[in-house]
Chain A
Amino acid sequence: MALPANPETETLTGNGQRLHANSWRPEHSPRDLWRAVFREDRFFLVLSVFIGVFSGLAVVCFRFAIDWSRLYLLGTGVQLTRARLLLAPTLAGLVIAVLVMRFFPTTRGSGVNQTKAALYIYNGSIPIRTAIGKFITSALAIGSGHSLGPEDPSLQIGACLASVMGRKMHLSRDRMRLIAPVGAAAGLAAAFNAPISAVLFVIEEVIGRWTAGILGSVVLSAVSSVVVMRWFLGSESLFRIPVVEIRRPSELIAYAALGVVGGLASVTFSSGIATLRPRCKALPRWTQYFQPAVAGLLIGIIAVLGAPQVMGAGYEYIDQAMHGQFTWEFMAILAGLKILATLLSFVSGTPGGMFAPTLFIGAMLGAAVGGAEHYFLPHLTISAGTYALVGMGVLFAGFLRAPMTSVFMVLEVSGNYSIIVPVIIANTFAYVISRGLQPIPLFDMLTRQDGLELPSMEEQREEGVLHVEDAMQRVKGPVLDAEKPLAEALREAERTEFQHLLVRMSPSGWSSVSKQELLELASKDKGTASLGSLLGSELVPNLHPDHPLETALRYVERWPVIPVVSRADFRELEGVISQRDVLERYREFGEG
């Protein structure tokens, strides 16, 4: 007998059948069908497709805006003039600062935390002004050469559009809370051209839990946004994927080394943000008008000094690194400079994302480590492209602390499953090192710096879950048999101190009875009747040891004692659980 999913709508009859309060009725008439479609849970799925379409369109336009900004601010070629390199990010920084300070104060930063805040604090509400501001300021920032990426802003734009649509549709509060992540997945999927990674990231970092209700919507919105994006921009990935080759198992050691280097780089990067961001925010308010400009000027100087690759999202340079266009020494320098440039852009409050810089740093670092290993150990048949790909995952795991997404992102981008083992090995090393040296993940750190207290997804993932087996007690009293006469049951009950006793029903199921009830039945002169025939048809739900303890909470108030039975044999009693046991266990858990 399985556990009823919802005790309010589901009850168990004596013979173990379930009765639903809202029984399913066939929907035959057009009116019924119409109503069925617009029932909120189904309607939410339809709305998710629309959210995906709108987010996809917005992201396509966002990409146009970034490219046009780049063309008009930095020029059309690859060898940019010094004047443009210095002036474009500086002047754009000034304009961005004015826009952010005066008109769009909610557009600072990457946008991931703002989406989480919408989910957990603002009941899914994000003003449309945020999307407009994010679109304009991020396009200007990335196009002018600030070291930021378009993915996180796309995520926020998607979330914002979804929020607006949800408000227009007057969704319930529960649905409204969930609608921002649905839009976020759509925005991210379109920006990254990778729907699986987007869905995973949103589940892993924004929602923090897998539920069937939200998963369908998130997937639908992500897929529809990617379809729209590919309609306009084609299906080509952000970079050309090189041939992935892993010839010897011994090469996995080399990838472990990459994981260590990536972990340390992640810690350096996030420590830089942890140190510099609060200091920049603590500076007088008027300086915030100039911080993006100063950051832009410094990035321009880095570019003039010989590393223009650090400007903007840098996908074209990731592509070149993957195809052996740079020496490993230069790529190592680029990785360091990109960390510096991204730190400058991000801590100055310039709107823009961290995904692309993270991928850039990871790719450069990966290819550099691979190149160095090949230089010192020439027998290793290492391709720079494979290392760059793995390196991207490494930084994703170490810096953004999204271990699942980091693995699937590399798989989805490369389309090659042979890379999975090196990715898992390298990512694990990076994640463990980063987790050990920097206990607070980046997104949690940013929310705390902003004075918010959002749930930490990492803590949630690592949080222990109590199960029924943690609270259940051994069966101490007798178990009555429903086939036996009442008189015999009463005799057994009188020999024990327990007030409530379990009754094993025939052919299956459990019931309970108190001593008082037995005495009352006996006083009605029914001593020869079988106990089962005297009890009502309602059965006690049974639990299994692996059930979450919170499941037991649903029943312990109504039934004083609940049987915990084996999954192999529902008549075999493994223990019992009562309200007192549950509360006692929770109290112990809270204390320590």
Chain B
Amino acid sequence: MLEEQEDPVKSERLVNYGLWLRQRPVMLGLFLVLAIILFLITSELARVYGAQREALGTRWFSRGVAELNGKKYDAAVTDFRAALLYSRDNYTYQLNLAEALIGAKRTGQASAYLLNLRDREPEDGLVNLELARIASAQGQVQQAVRYYHDAVYAAWSSDEEWKRRDARLELIELLLGTKAEAQAQAELIALAANVGDDPAEQEQIGSLFLRAEDYEHALNAFRIALKSDRRNPAAIAGAGEAAFKLGRYPLAQHYLQMALAANPNDQESANRLKTTEMVLHMDPFRRQITRAERNAAVVQAFSAAGQRLTSCAMPNSVSPGPAGAQQTLSDQWAALKPRITEQDLQQHPDLVEPAMELVFQIERQASIVCGTPSGTDLALLLIARLDEGNQ
């Protein structure tokens, strides 16, 4: 009986409770609580998920690095790709994948990755350097130069500063390879300014200056290199060559003799020394020689020029005569020949100048028609240039 009396009250309470629960504000509150709980659960799941992906990414990346170090590029590509599945935008993973792709000769794909990285960090030196290498390999010189410049002026960390120098060296090599000597010289001057007195580096710079045909800077670089290492055979030979190209033959003779002493097998230096000595010996305008010696040199040069005329056929080779008439070099030589003897020269020293002028003309013309000469003719050509420079 009591239970029967209590039941309606209880059920009424339950109904009220149900109605209260069904009220929108209450339901909204419940949703809010539920959302917070689900948010916390999802946060925990996300933490586990993120940690797992990070671990997987790291694992595949480590494998990739090992494969890359072992030069197994294809396997490295696969591993880095797997690593990127778990961290798609990871910069290091992408950079390593690009390097692996370059190793696997898939430069097109590597380039795509590198360009993406460059978009993200335009000042990344390594990315620009790799892009420059790819562009260079594909013969896209302008792009390569642009990327090399970006690599050179990129933000390298202090322990990677040597990479900036390497990037510039590669750029110089590219410019020299494409006959852009003037640009190469500019880069070399900038490089030389940032390099200390390290003999190896200075020797390398000197060699590059030689290739860029900037002999003055080359000689300077080799001299700096020789300050630290006086017996560096490459630097001595380089200095000799630079001095030779500059027409400073006594200095060239000095360095080339040193080079041969340091390395008797250096054939190039030997040839250059031989030519240098011939220049020094055959130059009738050199200082501190007697008139007899000068006359003998002129006679020898004139005779050599005549032989050169015989050996190198120069059809229609003409030269303006003293009266403006057109005469062939052979005619001129033949006309002057009887008078170019040591006795005549002794009596008429004013013949030295026209005789040597004709010799220089013959040698210059012959070098154009028949190519660079050797031996005596080369020496005479160099003397001609020297004379031209002096004038």
Listed in ascending order, the chain A residues whose CB lies under 8 Å from chain B are 34, 38, 43, 46-47, 50, 53-54, 57, 60-61, 64, 67-68, 71, 76-79, 165, 168-170, 232-233, 236, 240, 242-243, 316, 319, 323-325
Residues of A within 8 A of B79 (CB): 77
Q: Which residue in chain B gives the minimum CB-CB distance to A243?
A: B119
Give 3 nearest A-B pairs by CB, closest first.
A324-B112, A77-B82, A323-B112
Closest Cβ of chain B: how far from A563's Cβ, in Å? Answer: 46
The docked-state distance in angstroms from the alpha carbon of A243 to that of B89 is 16
Nearest chain A residue, comparing its CB with the CB of B63: A77
Please state if B109 and A324 are interface contacts (CB–CB under 8 Å). Answer: yes
**Partner among B39, B56, B85, B109 whose Cβ is within 8 Å of the Cβ of A57:** B39
CA–CA, A445 to B52, complex, Å? 42
Complex CA–CA separation, A573 to B60 (angstroms): 79
Asked, given contacts A64-B46, A67-B49, whether A323 binds B88 with beta carbons under 8 Å apart, the answer is no
A54 in contact with B35 (CB, 8 Å) = yes
Q: Chain B binding site: helix, strand, loop or mixed by DSSP?
A: helix
The answer to whether B56 and A76 touch across the interface, beta carbons within 8 angstroms, is yes
CB distance from A164 to the nearest CB of B (A): 11
In the complex, A232 Cα to B52 Cα: how many Å?
15
Q: Hey, which chain B residues are within 8 Å of A165, CB to CB?
A: 31
Q: Across the interface, do B31 and A64 meet the contact criterion of CB distance under 8 Å?
A: no
CB B328 to nearest CB in A, in angstroms, measures: 54
Smallest beta-carbon distance B196→chain A, Å: 41
Chain B contact patch, size range: 20 to 34
Cα distance, A169 to B22, chains bound together (Å): 7
Report A170 CB to chain B, min CB distance, Å.
Answer: 7
When chains A and B are docked, how far (Å) is the Cα of A236 from the Cα of B89?
9
- Where the two chains meet, the residues of B that have a C-beta atom closer than 8 Å to any C-beta of A are 22, 24-25, 27-28, 31-32, 35, 38-39, 42-43, 45-46, 49, 52-53, 56, 60, 78-79, 81-82, 85, 88-89, 108-109, 111-113, 116, 119
- A78 surroundings in chain B (CB, below 8 A): 78, 81-82, 85
Interface of chain A, main secondary structure: helix
CB neighbours (8 Å) of B52 from chain A are: 71
- 11 A–B contacts from the bound complex (CB under 8 Å): A43-B24, A53-B39, A61-B42, A64-B45, A64-B49, A67-B49, A76-B56, A165-B31, A168-B27, A236-B88, A316-B85
**Contact in complex: A50, B82 (CB < 8 Å):** no
Contacts of B85 in A (CB 8 A): 76, 78, 316
Cβ distance A440 to chain B, nearest Cβ, rounded Å: 39
> A323 touching B42 by the CB < 8 A rule?
no
Chain A nearest CB, measured from B51 CB (Å): 12
Residues in chain B near residue A169, CB distance under 8 A: 24, 27-28
**B113 and A77 contact, CB distance less than 8 A:** no
Bound complex: CA of A45 vs CA of B31, how far in Å? 15
Docked Cα-Cα span, A165 to B32, in Å, equals 12
Q: A240-B116, A242-B116, A243-B119 are in contact. List 17 more A-B contacts (CB 8 A).
A: A47-B28, A50-B31, A50-B35, A57-B42, A61-B45, A68-B49, A76-B56, A77-B79, A78-B82, A165-B31, A169-B28, A232-B43, A319-B88, A323-B112, A323-B116, A324-B108, A324-B109
Q: What are the residues of chain A within 8 A of B81 when measuring CB–CB?
A: 78
B35 and A53 contact, CB distance less than 8 A: yes
